[in-house]
Amino acid sequence: MPMTYYLILSATMFVIGALGVVLRRNPLVVFMSLELMFNAANLLFVAFSAYHRVLDGNLFVFFVMTTAAAEVAVGLALMVAIFRAKRNIDLDQMSILKG
Amino acid sequence: MNFDTLIGLSPWVVFFPLLGILINLLVGKRLSEKGIGTVASLAAGLSFVVAVLLAVGLAGHPEGGVYSLARWLVVGDFEAAWNFRVDTLSVTMMLVVAGVGTLIHVYSIGYMHADVRHNGDPQRFRRFFIYLNLFIAAMMVLVSADNFLMLFVGWEGVGLCSYLLIGFWYEKGSGGIANAQAAKKAFVVNRIGDFGLLIAIFLIFYNFGSLDFAVVFAQAPQIAAALPGVILAITLFMLLGVAGKSAQLPLYVWLPDAMAGPTPVSALIHAATMVTAGVYLVARSQALYLQVPLAQEVVMWVGGATALFAATIALGQNDIKKVLAYSTISQLGFMVAAVGMGAAVAGMFHLVTHAFFKALLFLGAGSVILGMEHGHEHHAGHGAKHGQQHFDPQDMRYMGGLRQKMPLTFWVYLIGALALAGVAPLAGFFSKDEILAAASLDHTALYVLLSVAAFLTAFYVARQLAMVFFGKPRSSAAQGAGESPALVTVPLVALAVLSAAGGMLNFPTTHWLEKWLEHSLYGVQPAKFIVSVALISLAVALAGLLIGWLVYGRKPLADAEQPDALAKPLGGLFRALENKWWVDEVYQVLVLKPYQRLADFLAQPVDQTVIDGVVNGMGGMVRAAAQSWRRIQNGYVRSYALTILLGVVLVVTYLLLR
Amino acid sequence: MNFGLHPLLLVTFFPLVGFLVILFLKSEHKNAIRWTALITALATFGISLWMLAQFDASKGDAQLVYRAPWLRVGGASIDFYLGVDGLSVLLVLLTTFLTPIAILSTWSAVQERVKGFMLFFLLLEVGMTGVFLALDLILFYIFWEFTLVPMYFLIGLWGGERRIYAAVKFFLFTMFGSLLMLLAILFTGLQVGSFAWNDLVAQRELFAQGQLWLFLAFALAFAIKVPMFPLHTWLPDAHVEAPTAGSVILAGVLLKMGSYGFLRYNLPLFPEASLQAAPYMAALAVMGILYGAAVALAQKDVKKLVAYSSVSHLGFVMLGIFALTQQGVAGGVLQMINHGLSTGALFLIVGMLYERRHTREMGDYGGVWKVMPVLGVLTLIVTLSSAGLPGLNGFVGEFTILLGAFGSDVLNSPWFAGAATLGVILAAVYLLVMFERVFLGALKVEANRALKDLNAREVITLLPLLALIFWIGLYPQPFFALINPSVERLITLVQTAAAVAIH
């Protein structure tokens, strides 16, 4: 399969993920969209790894996955904490940083 | 005893009083008043013993010596040490300071006993003696210093004691603050003088490379030849210091106010010793002054002008101590004029005799004040509260007739007064005559000026005697006054003897003092006794006394409210004298008010509005900018994420298209 | 007997031991916290004395050096580099000496959040000691900025009414100055390839070109800290709002970081620029002396008065430093110590009065000596020391400075010292006015009649300061012996560079 396919798929996933992060108000959906973006990157890592016949890319994917898992863990914990404090997790309500 | 071992005793003139302070500080609380007074008097007395021993030692070694106690300040090429100079000049001062000082310590035991009770705080008895000992210590540092810096330490040290003692009753005086203000005034005015002395010290160090007396004075002729302007500057800046400490024009204003201190303080510090420090300094630095006739001239005229000016003011004063204060300023003027002319021996001679008779006069005045206070309390005790009207135990208008009430005080006071007026053969006659004789040789104008001052002196002396001791008592306090206790009168008698016989020190035929001092003073000219001058000065003194008696003594004041006998004939002039020529008011308008206004101006508009305004203005600008930019921060995480995304896209596009 | 530990590391970081202990104490155990802090601070002072015992006063250069490679950035090495010499040794001692005293002064004054207070205080001590000991510019900068943080909180949390304004002003003002210094530090360090002080001094020709600008960048940071006229306005606000202990440390130590910075960095790194700028700096210093003295007189708040007196006193220090003579600089260093002692003591005294009457307006006092005789006497001594009375410490410093400035070749005019000497008169004016308004006169305000005199703790707080005031005043030789060799070396460093520049 030509490299282009992987690139197009990855780019599509990334854009979908990015739009999800920007547009959705539910933090869970935002997290999922974030995962999508991570995986878009992962896909490219693997694809290029195979293309260049080196293992570095595969290796890096594990790091990314670990990071993503850790990030979700922290993020969900934050969400739970926020929910406890505010009884609401609508992202648009969280604007106390407003200048 | 070996002279070198004797010199080793010299620091003890300072240590004994310090020891006295220590003892009184640590255990004084448990001592009785007598105990405290004894410790302090003993400390001063031992100091005197050391001074006597040093004097005895000097008799065999008149060249003197220096005792090094410790290095003090060594920085780079600058070095100043705690070195004690023992020579005839310094030992003369030590003898006067410790001698008169001890007598006044003894006197104070009696005087302060009554004073602390009159002012309602017996706890302060101990404090007084600690201050007094501190003064002796500081004054000893001043006179025994071997370099200008150590002298400066003593110089400011005595100023501090003066501050503390003037403000001894710091909650008294008009408005409850006048005494404290008088103390502050004394310190600050002295500081102005000290400024001059400091500058002189800097100049000396940079031109002579040392502050040690011996080094500086030895080089004076060479430096004067090479840099005459420098020596002139040094001597004139030094004169500023002298004017501050010795209460000369234009810095004399603090001394009359200093009378707020207890009377023994006025006697010791503000008459006999501290105020003569300036005279001592000029005498000590004769080597410098002799190099610049112009500076000598200036010193001489400052002294002469002060002598006359202060004597005029003394005519119009009604406070017994104020009269003596202006008289002190005037006599200091005589001394300064003398040392200015180069007649340092005459100046020192007058310094010594003046210490005797002026201390006597002040202590006598103290005795009078005690008598008045006693009479007042006695009267108030009997005549059930009659409105506690204003009572001033120092106002001469309310005295009168004390000759009968306090006979011993009267007789010793009379001796002091006649000595001050310059009546032969009392001490003041000889010393003043020596100054006048020196002036009559080369400085005729000054001679006339000083003679007028001497006439006025005799006149106000007669006025004071008449108002205080003659006539009838003009108040119930004077009516009830009684003689003071022995602790007070014994020192008076001792001083009276000294005032009567002090002239022997430098009697025209023997000239002991001159032969004694010429070992340490530079350029001593043998004094001449000029019969005509002596006769004229005696005549002037007697004329002054006589006219004073005619004006005030023949027809004494009938009651306290009656105006002064001179008020009518002199008119506005007398008002000027009464108001001290309005000098204080002039300073108020010209110096104090403007400085206060400047301070307020700098503090409010300048500091708070301008300087701090710039600072806060910068803060305000940042704040204003932030105000307008804050709208970008809408608080939505999503919009931040979008911004980041757009940023990334922009950067990537740039990197791709570059 | 090194115990395997370097004395400088120990003296710098020992307060952290107390910090850790306090961290594990419960906030309610206020006395345990106080004692821990006090004992830590006293132990640190002990360690600093141990450091002094190992210090060789005859040498002029840095001693007891501790140097370890730390980071490498952009081809320049940053070292963890500590050392002590005659310029810093007394300042370190002053820091470790004043800290326990300041802690002791909080015993009854600070009742709320004692734990936080002590934690910040010990951190502050680490920062201050580090500033004086650091010999690497980056390390210096880190410590320098680090002191801001605890001080900011000390003012902002335990301060008076306008504490937030004062704390922010203090923080931003000093931060603003140090940013330019950071740029200058980076520039010089990258030019030389090392941030170590002696490497920089040895190769200062490498950045000799722009040294006037570098000088100014450093000078701005230091001048704000000193503070020099007209950059002083943060000081009165910070002092008035800070708690007593904060004021003591602020006046006693933090201000000295500025004047120390001039000595340590500006003069040896940029000698030609220093010589060029000296008359202007001296002129500003003299203006500061006179201006501070005049403005102090107009104050009604005692603390403000003392704050402005600091502006005046630090003017003397700066005049001495930029006289660039042995006497001037040595006097300047000693005067830093003197000011720390006298002004520290004055702030303690104001604090004691404030604790009793909760006012700093001088009009609310008057005649206090009568009810508080012990405090009256102690204050009088401190006031006189501040006014430069011979026999007390202030005179020794001021006289040496003025002497040095009077004959300075660099300033080349006696007018600087002459005008500064006027400051001696003005100092007497405002200090005696202060003493008179608070302690003398009749007791007019009824509330003052019930004032209690000092208790034993308060006397103990002041006594060590008074002992040093007398010691330095009567026998300053041991102190000058510590200072002199390093000052000599510094002067030679500057003068040789200047001589090279002229030829």
Q: pLDDT per residue over C44-92, tens digit each? A: 999 999 999 999 888 888 888 888 888 887 778 888 999 999 899 999 9
* Mean pLDDT (chain C, rounded): 90
- B–C: how many Cβ contacts below 8 A? 145
Contact residues for A10 (Cβ-Cβ < 8 A; gap 6+): A40, A41, A43, A44, A47
The string of pLDDT tens digits covering residues C381-414 is 999 999 999 989 999 999 999 999 998 888 888 8
Band (pLDDT 50/70/90 cuts) for residue C1 is: very low
Q: Subunits with at least 3 CB pairs below 8 A relative to chain C?
A: B
Residues belonging to chain A with any Cβ–Cβ distance to chain B shorter than 8 Å: 18, 21-23, 25, 91-92, 94-99
User: Contact C440/B77, CB-based, under 8 Å?
Assistant: no
**pLDDT surpassing 80 at residue C258:** yes
Q: Average pLDDT in the C209-227 region?
A: 91
Whether omega for the bond prior to residue C230 falls within 30 degrees of 0, making it cis, is: yes
* Confidence at residue C445, expressed as pLDDT on a 0 to 100 scale: 84
User: Contact C441/B75, CB-based, under 8 Å?
Assistant: no
* Confidence at residue B527, expressed as pLDDT on a 0 to 100 scale: 76
Band (pLDDT 50/70/90 cuts) for residue B224 is: confident
Band (pLDDT 50/70/90 cuts) for residue B529 is: confident
How large a percentage of chain C has pLDDT more than 70? 98
**pLDDT surpassing 60 at residue B523:** yes
Q: How far is A60 from chain B (nearest CA, A)?
A: 22
Q: Average pLDDT in the B573-578 region?
A: 83
**pLDDT surpassing 70 at residue A97:** no
The string of pLDDT tens digits covering residues A70-88 is 998 999 998 898 888 888 8
Contacts of A25 in chain B (CB under 8 A): 638
The string of pLDDT tens digits covering residues B324-351 is 999 999 999 999 999 988 888 889 999 9
Q: Subunits with at least 3 CB pairs below 8 A relative to chain A?
A: B
User: Contact B602/C294, CB-based, under 8 Å?
Assistant: yes
Band (pLDDT 50/70/90 cuts) for residue C96 is: very high
With beta carbons less than 8 A apart as the criterion, state whether A28 and A78 touch.
Answer: no
Contacts of B171 in chain C (CB under 8 A): 367, 370, 440-443
The string of pLDDT tens digits covering residues B50-104 is 999 999 888 888 888 889 888 888 888 888 889 999 988 999 999 999 999 999 9
Contacts of B625 in chain A (CB under 8 A): none
| Residue closest to B156 by CA, chosen among C392, A41, C186 | C392
Whether omega for the bond prior to residue C227 falls within 30 degrees of 0, making it cis, is: yes
* Confidence at residue C343, expressed as pLDDT on a 0 to 100 scale: 94
Compare B2 and B207 and report the one with higher pLDDT. Answer: B207
**pLDDT surpassing 60 at residue B411:** yes
Contacts of B642 in chain A (CB under 8 A): 22
Q: How far is B649 from chain A (nearest CA, A)?
A: 12
Q: How far is B629 from chain A (nearest CA, A)?
A: 9
Contacts of B641 in chain A (CB under 8 A): 21-22
**Where is B65: in which H helix or E strand?**
strand B65-75
Compare B632 and B594 and report the one with higher pLDDT. Answer: B594
Nearest to B191 among C395, C425, C444 (CB): C425
Band (pLDDT 50/70/90 cuts) for residue B554 is: confident
With beta carbons less than 8 A apart as the criterion, state whether B358 and B267 touch.
Answer: yes
Q: Average pLDDT in the B134-150 region?
A: 93
Q: How far apart are CA B399 and CA B649, in angstroms?
A: 105
Task: Give me the half-sphere count of Cα atoms (radius 13 Å) on the Cβ side of residue C159.
Answer: 25
Contacts of C384 in chain B (CB under 8 A): 160
Contacts of C368 in chain B (CB under 8 A): none
Q: How far apart are CA C332 and CA C316, in angstroms?
A: 7
* Confidence at residue B381, expressed as pLDDT on a 0 to 100 scale: 61
CA distances from B615 to B600, C169, C170, C222, C306 (A): 20, 9, 11, 17, 21
B382 interfaces chain A, CB cutoff of 8 Å: no
User: Contact A18/B637, CB-based, under 8 Å?
Assistant: no
* Confidence at residue B481, expressed as pLDDT on a 0 to 100 scale: 83
User: Contact C418/B149, CB-based, under 8 Å?
Assistant: no
**pLDDT surpassing 70 at residue B388:** no
The string of pLDDT tens digits covering residues C272-322 is 889 889 999 999 999 999 999 999 999 999 999 999 999 999 999 999 999
Mutate to test the interface with A, among B637, B639, B640 (most CBs of A within 10 A): B637
Q: Following DSSP, what letter does each residue of C416-444 receive, concatenated?
A: HHHHHHHHHHHHHHHHHHHHHHHHSS---
Q: How far is B160 from chain C (nearest CA, A)?
A: 8
Q: Subunits with at least 3 CB pairs below 8 A relative to chain B?
A: A, C
* Confidence at residue B387, expressed as pLDDT on a 0 to 100 scale: 42
Q: How far is C37 from chain B (nearest CA, A)?
A: 33
Mapping DSSP onto H, E and C, the string for B124-193 reads: HHHHHHHHHHHHHHHHHHHHHECEHHHHHHHHHHHHHHHHHHHCCCCCCCHHHCHHHHHHHHHHHHHHHH
Nearest to A22 among B631, B634, B642 (CB): B642
**pLDDT surpassing 90 at residue A38:** yes
* Confidence at residue B385, expressed as pLDDT on a 0 to 100 scale: 45
Band (pLDDT 50/70/90 cuts) for residue C501 is: low
| Residue closest to A76 by CA, chosen among A89, A59, A93, A60 | A89
| Residue closest to B108 by CA, chosen among B170, B165, B172, B37 | B37
* C-alpha torsion angle, residues A39, A45, A51, A53 (rounded to 10): -130
* Confidence at residue C303, expressed as pLDDT on a 0 to 100 scale: 92
Least reliable range by pLDDT among B429-438, B517-526, B546-555, C271-280: B517-526
* Mean pLDDT (chain B, rounded): 87
B632 interfaces chain A, CB cutoff of 8 Å: yes
Task: Give me the half-sphere count of Cα atoms (radius 13 Å) on the Cβ side of residue C453.
Answer: 13
| Residue closest to B281 by CA, chosen among B317, B234, B326 | B234
Report the residue of chain B nearest A22, measured CA to CA: B638
Q: How far apart are CA B294 and CA B280, in angstroms?
A: 20
Q: How far apart are CA B365 and CA B324, in angstroms?
A: 9
User: Contact B598/C230, CB-based, under 8 Å?
Assistant: no
- A–B: how many Cβ contacts below 8 A? 33
* Confidence at residue B380, expressed as pLDDT on a 0 to 100 scale: 67
* Confidence at residue A98, expressed as pLDDT on a 0 to 100 scale: 66
User: Contact B198/C484, CB-based, under 8 Å?
Assistant: no
Report the residue of chain A nearest B631, measured CA to CA: A99
With beta carbons less than 8 A apart as the criterion, state whether C301 and C362 touch.
Answer: yes
Q: How far apart are CA B107 and CA B102, in angstroms?
A: 9
Contacts of C443 in chain B (CB under 8 A): 171
Mutate to test the interface with C, among B25, B74, B75 (most CBs of C within 10 A): B75
Q: How far is B617 from chain A (nearest CA, A)?
A: 22
Contacts of A94 in chain B (CB under 8 A): 635, 637
Q: Determine whether B595 is exposed, middle or buried from the number of CB atoms within 10 Å of its CB (0-12, 13-18, 19+).
A: middle
Q: Average pLDDT in the C322-327 region?
A: 91
Q: How far is C442 from chain B (nearest CA, A)?
A: 4
Give phi and psi for C255, each to the nearest 5.
-65, -35
**pLDDT surpassing 70 at residue C500:** no
Q: How far apart are CA C301 and CA C350, in angstroms?
A: 10
Q: How far is A23 from chain B (nearest CA, A)?
A: 7
Contacts of C369 in chain B (CB under 8 A): 170
User: Contact B180/C414, CB-based, under 8 Å?
Assistant: no
Q: Average pLDDT in the C16-42 region?
A: 92
**pLDDT surpassing 80 at residue B412:** yes
Band (pLDDT 50/70/90 cuts) for residue B229 is: confident
Contacts of A98 in chain B (CB under 8 A): 633-635
